[in-house]
């Protein structure tokens, strides 16, 4: 038969030759891979005869590789089950087998073709069970280290307090906590309002912890502590070479650090007007623009803002942008001052004393009844923060393990006589608020509860009188003419 060049027979022979060369190349590669495998490998036929092995397995057995080939597996390997797997066709994974006095871990896998076992592959996974335990120990150590670093990250970039850490059972506090729990489950922006020391940061932590973002970062920013010239770079960061003195690789801003989590803007009322515009863009567009950046960068951040100044009044006075106020004031939580939840004072004092006892090492059991009455009667213009300072001071002057009235500062003792602070504690702000509250109550009584009429007579806007009514907790019955409850005052 004559074979013509480029004829079909010629082309077939060429293709077969290529296939043969390819198969030979793959065989050589497999042989090399088998020979240099770190794990011991062995292959038997369906009758248990060894057809292939690598040098690692031979070295483990202490025999020559060439002496293994062609022998029955039971003649070479003690306690083997390769021939049993060949018969059953059932794989055995990670089994312990004792060889030469060592418990090793191996697997036996049948190779099945058209329903029949054509070979069995044996593989040593660990030459000694001790190696397995050593590796398990390493994994356990790595897991502990990972947990440590995760906890450190949470401590540095995470929230530390939940709603359970906010001490108190008063109705005023419970209302705010309940609203906080509800809003935590949403993505809404939250505005926390309250006097200094009422626990606004605690609420911010708790909202983050109770939210779907709890595993993300919690970044705190004190807007009152950042110099105006550094606001933009601190909040939004900057790129490499953005300005003289910039870090070589640039710097992430607070918003970028909070990506995927929550950012807490404390004292947001202190933001300069120029920065208020940029913050408004973040709220509207969900993006930031670092200093020196070519374009904006998308971020996913929930904002919780806090202020001890009434943002609504500040907006009316022109000190805060109205559009930003509306963006922040989606859900407002007004945290009541300590004087409006006097029943919580003993509980808070007990919690503070337990913490102070650990910090100072000074043992303390409790607060005596006479001292407790003084703490309840005092108006606490500095709220929980001031209460903590007073108790810490008292620890150093007390004479036994119980705090008595005589251990408290004399000014506090004097304030308990009438349930109101003495003149030296009635600051100008306190006196002005008391006077303002009395005037608004009188105007509402004279107007028979008509808020618009009362506002006109006082020369203020309708929104202002509504804000004052909310601020001083003036009930409808008070506005209509009923006298306020004895000793109750919403003065701030």
Q: Where are the domains of the chain?
A: 37-126, 163-334, 338-425, 428-480
Find the mean pLDDT for residues 329-347: 93
> Would you say residue 485 has pLDDT above 70?
no
459 DSSP assignment = T
* pTM of the predicted model as reported, rounded to 2 decimal places: 0.56
- The H-or-E segment that residue 220 falls in is strand 218-222
Judged on CB neighbours under 10 Å (0-12, 13-18, 19+), 247 is exposed
- Is 204 in contact with 192 (CB distance < 8 Å)? yes
**Domains 37-126 and 163-334 are alike in CATH topology:** no
What is 338-425's CATH number, 1.10.472.10, 3.40.50.300, 3.30.300.20, 1.10.8.60? 1.10.8.60
pLDDT of residue 104: 81
Tens of pLDDT, residue by residue over 174-220, are: 999 999 999 999 999 999 999 989 999 999 999 999 999 998 899 99
- Fold held by 37-126: Beta-Lactamase (3.30.450)
What confidence score (pLDDT) does residue 410 get?
85
User: pLDDT tens digits for 298-327?
Assistant: 999 999 999 988 888 889 888 899 999 999
| Whether 262 contacts 301, CB under 8 Å | yes
Question: What residues contact residue 13 under an 8 Å CB cut-off, 6+ apart?
Answer: 3
- Cα angle: 383, vertex 335, 341; to 5 degrees: 60
> What confidence category does residue 458 fall into, taking pLDDT thresholds of 50, 70 and 90?
confident
Superfamily of domain 163-334: P-loop containing nucleotide triphosphate hydrolases (3.40.50.300)
Of 11 and 260, which is predicted with more confidence?
260
Strands 297-298 and 287-288: antiparallel
DSSP 6-28: TSHHHHHHHHHHHHHHHHHHHHH
Assigned token pair, 238: 């900057």
Question: Positive or negative, the Cα torsion across 140, 145, 150, 151?
Answer: positive
Q: What distance in Å separates the CA atoms of residue 64 and residue 244, rounded to the nearest whole number?
A: 71
Task: Write out pLDDT tens, residues 422-439.
Answer: 444 444 555 667 788 888
């Amino acid at each position: 038969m004559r074979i013509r060049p480029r004829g079909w027979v010629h082309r077939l022979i060429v293709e077969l030759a290529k296939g043969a060369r390819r198969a030979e190349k793959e065989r050589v590669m497999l042989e090399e891979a088998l020979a240099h495998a770190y794990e011991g490998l062995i292959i038997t036929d369906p009758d248990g005869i060894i057809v292939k092995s690598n040098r690692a397995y031979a070295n483990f057995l202490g025999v020559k590789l060439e002496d293994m080939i062609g022998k029955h597996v039971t003649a070479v390997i003690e306690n083997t089950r390769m021939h049993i797997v060949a018969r059953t066709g059932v794989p055995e994974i990670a089994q312990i087998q004792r060889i030469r006095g060592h418990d090793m871990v191996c697997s036996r896998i049948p190779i099945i073709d058209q329903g029949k076992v054509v070979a069995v592959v044996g593989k040593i996974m660990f030459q000694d069970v001790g190696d397995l335990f050593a590796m398990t120990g390493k994994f356990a150590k790595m897991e502990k280290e990972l947990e440590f670093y995760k906890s450190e990250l949470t401590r540095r970039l995470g929230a530390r307090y939940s709603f359970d850490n906010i001490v108190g059972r008063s109705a005023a506090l419970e209302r705010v906590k309940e609203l906080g729990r509800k809003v935590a489950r949403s993505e809404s922006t939250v505005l926390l309002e309250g006097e200094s020391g009422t626990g606004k940061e605690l609420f911010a932590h708790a909202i983050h912890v109770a939210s779907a973002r709890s595993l993300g970062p919690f970044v705190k920013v004190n807007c009152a502590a950042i110099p105006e010239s550094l606001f933009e770079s601190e909040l939004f960061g900057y790129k490499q070479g953005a300005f003289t003195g910039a870090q070589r690789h640039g710097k992430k801003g607070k918003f970028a650090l909070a990506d995927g989590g929550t950012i807490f803007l404390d004292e947001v009322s202190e933001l300069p007007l120029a920065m208020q515009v940029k913050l408004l863009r973040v709220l509207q567009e969900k993006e930031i623009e670092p200093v020196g950046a070519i374009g904006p960068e998308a971020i996913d951040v929930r904002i919780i803002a806090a202020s001890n100044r009434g943002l609504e009044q500040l907006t009316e006075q022109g000190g805060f942008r109205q559009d930003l106020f509306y963006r922040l004031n989606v859900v407002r939580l007004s945290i009541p001052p300590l004087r409006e939840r006097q029943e919580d004072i003993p509980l808070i004092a007990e919690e503070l004393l337990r913490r102070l006892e650990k910090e100072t090492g000074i043992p303390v059991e409790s607060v005596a009844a006479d001292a407790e009455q003084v703490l309840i009667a005092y108006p606490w213009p500095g709220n929980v923060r001031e209460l903590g300072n007073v108790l810490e001071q008292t620890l150093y002057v007390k004479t036994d393990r119980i705090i008595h009235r005589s251990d408290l500062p004399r000014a506090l003792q004097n304030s308990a006589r009438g349930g109101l602070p003495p003149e030296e504690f009635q600051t100008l702000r306190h006196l002005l608020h008391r006077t303002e509250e009395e005037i608004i109550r009188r105007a509402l009584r004279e107007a028979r509860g008509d808020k618009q009429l009362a506002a006109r007579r006082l020369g203020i806007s309708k929104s202002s009188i509504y804000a004052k009514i909310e601020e001083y907790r003036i009930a409808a019955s008070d506005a209509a003419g009923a006298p306020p409850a004895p000793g109750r005052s919403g003065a701030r």
